[in-house]
Amino acid sequence: MLNIRRLSANAAGFREELDQLLAWETVSNQSVNDIVNEVCARVRQEGDAALLEYTAKFDRLELKSGAELEISKDRLQQALQNIPAAQREALEISAQRVRDYHERQVQDSWTYEEADGTMLGQQVTPLDSVGLYVPGGKAAYPSSVIMNAIPAKVAGVEKLIMVVPTPDGEVNEMVLAAAAICEVDAVFTLGGAQAVAALAYGTETVPAVDKIVGPGNIFVATAKRLVFGTVGIDMIAGPSEILVYCDGKTNPDWIAVDLFSQAEHDEDAQAILVTQDADFAAQVYDSMNKLLPTMPRKEIIQKALDDRGAIIVVDNEDQAIEMINIIAPEHLELSVDDPKALLPKIRHAGAIFMGRYTAEALGDYCAGPNHVLPTSRTARFSSPLGVYDFQKRSSLIMVSEDGANTLGKIAGELADGEGLQAHAASARYRVKD
Amino acid sequence: MLNIRRLSANAAGFREELDQLLAWETVSNQSVNDIVNEVCARVRQEGDAALLEYTAKFDRLELKSGAELEISKDRLQQALQNIPAAQREALEISAQRVRDYHERQVQDSWTYEEADGTMLGQQVTPLDSVGLYVPGGKAAYPSSVIMNAIPAKVAGVEKLIMVVPTPDGEVNEMVLAAAAICEVDAVFTLGGAQAVAALAYGTETVPAVDKIVGPGNIFVATAKRLVFGTVGIDMIAGPSEILVYCDGKTNPDWIAVDLFSQAEHDEDAQAILVTQDADFAAQVYDSMNKLLPTMPRKEIIQKALDDRGAIIVVDNEDQAIEMINIIAPEHLELSVDDPKALLPKIRHAGAIFMGRYTAEALGDYCAGPNHVLPTSRTARFSSPLGVYDFQKRSSLIMVSEDGANTLGKIAGELADGEGLQAHAASARYRVKD
């Protein structure tokens, strides 16, 4: 029997309970920090030698030389042959749909000219090189390769380097096949903090990159925080979450399994149902209890739902929207008749799944939009992974002789006000009159 | 006499010397970390009481209540009256030009529909609230208020909260006047880690915001790193830098003072000249020695140039471009005949100042583009501050009944491959045939 929280938004103490439910802080304890500091420092100083040592120690994989760290292009192509045809086709369709969607995110350079001939604008360029971390073991997801690699490729990144640990030599064929489909430029069998350090600092074998993306455990996340500044990083993700808002008219079994699909990720995952229909809330609860035993990952689902899940009954749609904007969910499912009508009121959500047919799982794999999304209320200030994360901008300023005459006086005045007289002099050298 | 490095790009050991010259890591030592941890924890728990205590301690400013932390709108308007008319006009023109430029960065929501009726897109929305840190004391710059506040306002941020310390009660009238011109929504006399903590967690008086931007000292930077995740932050900036590339045909005095204008920021600032004309390099060196005594901030300029500056002679334009892309400068001045021709080869730079009339100082104050730029080679992966930093995106996915039939099968196949059976079930509920 599920022991998921069943709450009323009008009950006393509801807001405090909700805040507690949403609270999440990824804290690296001192021992994790110490290990990561040492691993990164040694990889930075010793290069391949440290990588081989750590790979032997943490992944129980004995390699003789740096060269053996690379998984060859031939091996990636072989993986593409090894997997069932239906899987390969599904991966290819997914990659193509993700590509189609992300091509619409490409940003172009722009300039404009002012009356005095001064030209202003921005030059948009791809990053030179990107490292993609892919976890090994139980959370090895080919969809994650597609979602991280395709936007980088669409942006025009020329060197996309993937690292994926193969603990005890165990290789995930689907992950390698996805790397082949996405035309990743090189793959290394590396994981943990040592993989992040190799990508940040470079070794004899692994090239240094400009940005590191992709999910990982606490060691990977801590290492990413450490090397941030030397390279760019994506967001440090918290546990995955969904908020399903339903008007009560969707099949409760569908909603129950939508919630399960989030909860099955791991025991910290969060699934919340918000509805104004108390009867429907009870039906979904019954469906969950009925369907839970049929789920292979039922232990994880139950623990996630009991610890961090909730069914929240609200008064009406307005209160539901208020709830959504407070929670700022990573995934928001609007299982209602007219989801488009709600969009203008939704201020914070990583991805919005609209209508009764849009299961979140479709977005995870193949709808097109990215499945790397802001978690833990960070949708208040951040966005899905996209092509824009692999492009950068340079301001363009070309001031004409006349422009310098005008702007030089203004800049001189302000520089004087700030006590920066060399700035003032530099501006005034270009003033004619 | 200046003791700036004079290097040849072809000399033995040049690349090692360059790497050393460019090396910069902002490291917060343990004592800074300890202070910041305590300050943030206490502000989070005790709110205004902790703010008043720290403001008395660090800014030597005794306030009786949280309400006294706020600098009123009337006081901001009064500052606008207090400053000289020429300054006010310069600030107003600067704000208007920055607004005009940044309006071109606004991104709009977009959607598209597929043949089966499935709708995909992105909804773009402004952040609800932003905190702007403005340093007090010697580095109190009204231009910084304009450069941080205007993009947020153009993005549509409704609550823009500024904090600025007034150590010993000393108020910078120009900073307050700039806040009035930018229509900042509230200003608090707060600085240091306590200001960052107040903006991140909120107190009785200071509202919590969604993102914190703006420059600050090591305590501010360390606090921003600490609260990152609870709120968004902008880049942690290193010392400011310029690379001037000149073909040898610009007045050497102009170039000398352009380099000074960077060096005068602080002793860690970096100014580098790259030229293929060895005679010109010598002329600029002579100009620098001639003009240095005329500069009010000559001690700072000399220390910055001696410690971190360089004049680099290269063989030709191609080698100059290579140098630019290695250094990835915050500010790049292309003091040449045809700077537009070089643009396609420049891969990394925060802002590009093109032609002999575009002194970097014009961009600092009033050209239009932002002066908050990526430092310390981070232009390899990051961009000038812009409207895009104050907007966020939500993916939109509305799958039609037919679309769910097609996509449900693909998602089911991939979910099975990843061992996520609830995902598969959720997708397959929507498959008809």
- Residue A71, amino acid: I
Give yes or no for A426 touching B (CB within 8 A): yes
Give yes or no for B389 touching A (CB within 8 A): no
A420·B394 Cβ contact <8 A: no
Same structural domain for residues B212 and B322?
no
CATH number of the domain encompassing residue A288: 3.40.50.1980
Could you list the residues of B known to form a binding site for NAD(+), using ranges.
133, 194, 217
> How many Å lie between the alpha carbon of B137 and the closest alpha carbon of chain A?
11
Same structural domain for residues B406 and B346?
no
Same structural domain for residues A282 and A349?
yes
Where a domain ends, among B234, B269, B298? B234
Chain B environment of A328 (Cβ under 8 Å): none
User: Residue A236 above 90 pLDDT?
Assistant: no
Chain A environment of B269 (Cβ under 8 Å): none
Q: For residue A229, is it within any domain? A: yes
Q: Which residue out of B392, B409, B416, B431 would a mutagenesis test of the A interface target, given it has the greatest number of A Cβ atoms within 10 Å?
A: B392
Q: For residue B80, is it within any domain? A: yes
Backbone φ and ψ of A200, nearest 5°: -75, -45
Chain B environment of A224 (Cβ under 8 Å): none
Same structural domain for residues B315 and B340?
yes
What integer pLDDT is reported at residue B25 of this predicted model?
Answer: 73
What integer pLDDT is reported at residue B138 of this predicted model?
Answer: 62
Give yes or no for A11 touching B (CB within 8 A): no
Give one DSSP letter per residue of B217-282, joined into a string. Answer: -HHHHHHHHHHBTTBEE-------EEEEEE-S-S-HHHHHHHHHHHHTS-TT-EEEEEES-HHHHH
What is the enclosing helix (H) or strand (E) of A198?
Answer: helix A192-201
Instruction: Report how many domains make up chain A.
Output: 3
Q: For residue B389, is it within any domain? A: no
Between CA A291 and CA A260 the distance in angstroms is 9
- The three-class DSSP label of residue B94 is helix
A72 is in an annotated binding site: no
Q: How confident is the model at residue A139 (pLDDT cuts 50, 70, 90)?
A: low
Cα A429–chain centre separation: 48
Same structural domain for residues B283 and B160?
no
Supply B350's token pair: 């925060």
Same structural domain for residues A268 and A326?
yes
How confident is the model over A69-86, as a mean pLDDT? 97
**C-alpha closest to that of A281 among A331, A315, A322:** A315
Give one DSSP letter per residue of A329-383, joined into a string. Answer: -SEEEEESS-HHHHGGG----SEEEESTT--HHHHHHTSSS-S----TTGGGT--
How confident is the model over A263-278, as a mean pLDDT? 96
Report which DSSP code applies to B345.
Answer: G
- Select the residue of B366, B395, B426 nearest A257 (Cβ to Cβ): B426
Contact B136, B166 (CB under 8 A): yes
Range of the domain at A415: 399-428
A123, A223, B154, B164, B392 from B122: Cα distances, Å = 23, 31, 19, 36, 10
Between CA B281 and CA A422 the distance in angstroms is 20
Could you list the residues of B known to form a binding site for substrate, using ranges.
240, 262, 265, 331, 364, 418, 423
| Burial grade of B278 (CB within 10 A; 0-12, 13-18, 19 or more) | middle
- Per annotation, catalytic residue among B102, B264, B331, B371: B331
Give residue A55's region: left, alpha or beta (phi > 0; psi -120 to 50). Answer: alpha
B123·A352 Cβ contact <8 A: yes
- The percent of residues above 90 in pLDDT, for chain A, comes to 92
CA dihedral A250, A294, A8, A346 (to 10 degrees): -50
B residues 189-218 closer than 8 Å to A (CB): 210-211
Supply A111's token pair: 């300039």
Between CA B44 and CA A21 the distance in angstroms is 19
A121, A154, B105 from A107: Cα distances, Å = 13, 11, 11
User: Residue A30 above 90 pLDDT?
Assistant: no
Contact B178, B91 (CB under 8 A): yes
Q: For residue B33, is it within any domain? A: no
Same structural domain for residues B79 and B213?
yes
Where a domain ends, among B234, B264, B292? B234
Between CA B172 and CA A36 the distance in angstroms is 44
List residues bridging with B5 in a β-sheet: B310
Q: For residue B310, is it within any domain? A: yes
A174·B418 Cβ contact <8 A: yes
- The percent of residues above 70 in pLDDT, for chain A, comes to 99
Q: For residue B36, is it within any domain? A: no
Same structural domain for residues B159 and B218?
yes
Contact A264, A294 (CB under 8 A): no
A225, B29, B425 from B39: Cα distances, Å = 22, 16, 49
> How many Å lie between the alpha carbon of B26 and the closest alpha carbon of chain A?
9
Residues contacting residue A284 through CB under 8 Å, at least 6 positions apart: A246, A252, A255, A256, A259, A273, A275, A311
Scan for tokens 């502000």, then name that residue: B43
Q: What is the CA radius of gyration of chain B?
A: 25
How confident is the model over A254-260, as a mean pLDDT? 98
Same structural domain for residues A269 and A298?
yes
Residues contacting residue A45 through CB under 8 Å, at least 6 positions apart: none
What integer pLDDT is reported at residue B24 of this predicted model?
Answer: 83
A102 is in an annotated binding site: no
Between CA B419 and CA A139 the distance in angstroms is 9
Q: For residue A36, is it within any domain? A: no
Give yes or no for B234 touching A (CB within 8 A): no
Our answer to whether residue B331 is catalytic in this structure is yes
A346·B123 Cβ contact <8 A: yes
Same structural domain for residues B182 and B322?
no
* Residue A17 CB coordination number (10 Å): 15
What is the enclosing helix (H) or strand (E) of B7?
Answer: strand B5-8
List residues bridging with B120 in a β-sheet: B112, B397
Between CA A375 and CA B395 the distance in angstroms is 14
B210·A359 Cβ contact <8 A: no
Give yes or no for A423 touching B (CB within 8 A): yes
Between CA A287 and CA A310 the distance in angstroms is 15
pLDDT tens-digit series, residues A357-387: 999 999 999 999 999 999 999 999 999 999 9
Same structural domain for residues A109 and A219?
yes
Chain A environment of B141 (Cβ under 8 Å): 418
Give yes or no for B263 touching A (CB within 8 A): yes
Between CA B84 and CA B80 the distance in angstroms is 9
User: What is the pLDDT tens value at each position of chain B, 433 positions in all?
Assistant: 899 999 999 999 999 999 999 988 766 678 898 999 999 999 999 999 999 999 999 999 999 999 999 999 999 999 999 999 999 999 999 999 999 999 999 999 999 999 999 999 999 999 999 999 999 876 679 999 999 999 999 999 999 999 999 999 889 999 999 999 999 999 999 999 999 999 999 999 999 999 999 998 899 999 998 998 899 999 888 899 999 999 999 999 999 999 999 999 999 999 999 999 999 999 999 999 999 999 999 999 999 999 999 999 999 999 999 999 999 999 999 999 999 999 999 999 999 999 999 999 999 999 999 999 999 999 999 999 999 999 999 999 999 999 999 999 999 999 999 999 999 999 999 999 8
A60, A80, A169 from A189: Cα distances, Å = 12, 18, 9
> How many Å lie between the alpha carbon of A320 and the closest alpha carbon of chain B?
18
Contact A44, B25 (CB under 8 A): no
Where a domain ends, among B234, B267, B282? B234
What integer pLDDT is reported at residue B27 of this predicted model?
Answer: 67
Between CA B379 and CA B329 the distance in angstroms is 7
Q: For residue A386, is it within any domain? A: no
Chain A environment of B343 (Cβ under 8 Å): 123, 396
- Residue A187, amino acid: V
Same structural domain for residues A113 and A209?
yes
What integer pLDDT is reported at residue A26 of this predicted model?
Answer: 65
Between CA A164 and CA B80 the distance in angstroms is 58
What integer pLDDT is reported at residue B214 of this predicted model?
Answer: 94
Q: Which residue out of A101, A418, A432 would a mutagenesis test of the B interface target, given it has the greatest number of B Cβ atoms within 10 Å?
A: A418
> How many Å lie between the alpha carbon of A64 and the closest alpha carbon of chain B?
30
Chain B environment of A369 (Cβ under 8 Å): 120, 122, 395-397
pLDDT tens-digit series, residues A85-117: 999 999 999 999 999 999 999 999 999 999 999
What integer pLDDT is reported at residue B7 of this predicted model?
Answer: 95
